[in-house]
Structure 1
């Protein structure tokens, strides 16, 4: 398939921003979890590693980039929810969607509070932090654990969805699945062991070195930090609720036509012009390959258009790039990107319904689903 060279469209820029801002936030959480895991050694080991792990995020420049990534990723996630034609999808996609809504309110307290305090000149150490979370305010400590867990689940779900769309990463996923479990488990064990060390020191009357006191020339605006984080938390939750409400209004007011899909000469399926061909298959509980869960990245949902009662919308640059990359045959379209305007549409699947990149084969070799009826 030939592809004309064009300027990069907004959809591709938005997709890139969402991916890279998500990867940046995942790196933030990974460094913190790695730092927590050192609690299995000692609180002192956590503090020695802090400048190279969690401490690197407290700088003014990287802190600003972190906040920008958080806001960008959250808003793009809400936009993705708003434009989705249906929330009917797989479990992993639902988990990613729901945890994505919670990322901003959960991460705001840590990212905003730590950044503002660090900019004011206050240095944080794990001795004082563990003492606060286990002895002074255990509720805050529990919230921090929940925050890291939710962001980790969201980040891993997004990372795996992104990597599944890349044939070169198919064998790497097995190891990443293992790391996705090991990293948070070891981090929680380290956090618990650090807390046990702190509690034991308190019960035995031992003195664990205090964190440096706040210097007299450092004024930390705690009241302002609390006010700003509360505004961000409440505002982000309201914005998420408004997004779902706006989406419901949009779908209610949307005028649609019936679409009748036939794949591989099988029975006719009823869908809607508001849905993509892939959404139509899922609406009818018809399994169809889509390793990237309908994001237009992997190309495994590709179909050959045999017949369409009405002209189909022209492919976007995003779709053209993916079709070009996978070497799709003439007349192929991505089922996740095509929304028929109505009528009957007959297609042949390019890939088997249970296809993975481990089953890689040339596209000019017919699949079992393409065999004549």
Structure 2
């Protein structure tokens, strides 16, 4: 299959996943209960076997193609939009690993049942609520830019530019507002009720080990792809100079 089609298809799946997360957070503007119901529906989709295969298959495909792009790139004279998209795409896993280990991996390995109340309390007690708000931003920016660069030449998409920019800006703002509203609701319920989840406390060391190992593995993949590409570029340049000199 065409790598561009694979990249676009996997990117659309990941953007849909991020969009649903933003919408779920935004529901917290109205009530914590409404956000919890939205999260339950989202988990039915993404925690099902087809949803899991589709989501993590898309993560694997998108990451593989990103490493391939790093390796194949011959120069780094890129327009600003490409630099922003590159930064957003490569920084997303650095933030996502922490969240994914504390929710999905903890649920799969140790029976943790994630919901907004447990996750927000955990973030408040660890002082990482700001990280949660920033978590989806790189993926949202990367996905929206990628989708725009791929579809901007289609007349209907270009005509809808103003609406798309409005969605691009407003949805993350609503998401952040929803998160803060849910946090205020929990704090108003009584700080004495804010206690860490027993499952997360019991398996904290193991989860921290997973975070560390996954982070190191990801950084090694990025460094290896970049370094290998630079070595290949240097080799081709030497061969070209030698060929030109012999001629």
TM over 0.5, shorter chain: yes
Cα pair 2:103 2:112 within 8 Å, conserved: no
**Out of 108, 120, 140, which is 1:152 matched to?**
140
Change (3 A) 1:168 1:23: same
SS of aligned partner of 2:74: coil
More strand by share: 1
CA–CA separation in structure 2 for the residues paired with 1:164 and 1:235: 35
1:164-243 pair list within 5 angstroms: 164-202=152-190, 223-243=205-225
Larger radius of gyration: 1
More displaced 10-residue stretch of structure 1: 242-251 or 56-65: 56-65
CA–CA separation in structure 1 for the residues paired with 2:104 and 2:36: 18
Equivalent pairs, count: 237
SS of aligned partner of 2:159: coil
CA–CA separation in structure 2 for the residues paired with 1:54 and 1:157: 26
Cα pair 1:21 1:70 within 8 Å, conserved: yes
1:148 Cα offset (Å): 1.0
Query: What is the TM-score normalised by the length of structure 2?
Result: 0.83
1:65-80 pair list within 5 angstroms: 65-80=54-69
CA–CA separation in structure 2 for the residues paired with 1:55 and 1:110: 19
> Please, which runs of 5 or more residues in structure 2 have no aligned partner?
241-247
1:18 aligns with 2:10: no
> Please, which runs of 5 or more residues in structure 1 have no aligned partner?
1-9, 215-219, 259-373
CA–CA separation in structure 2 for the residues paired with 1:55 and 1:170: 34
Cα pair 1:58 1:118 within 8 Å, conserved: no
CA–CA separation in structure 2 for the residues paired with 1:211 and 1:245: 42
SS of aligned partner of 1:255: helix
Cα pair 1:160 1:173 within 8 Å, conserved: no
Cα pair 2:92 2:136 within 8 Å, conserved: no
1:213 Cα offset (Å): 7.6
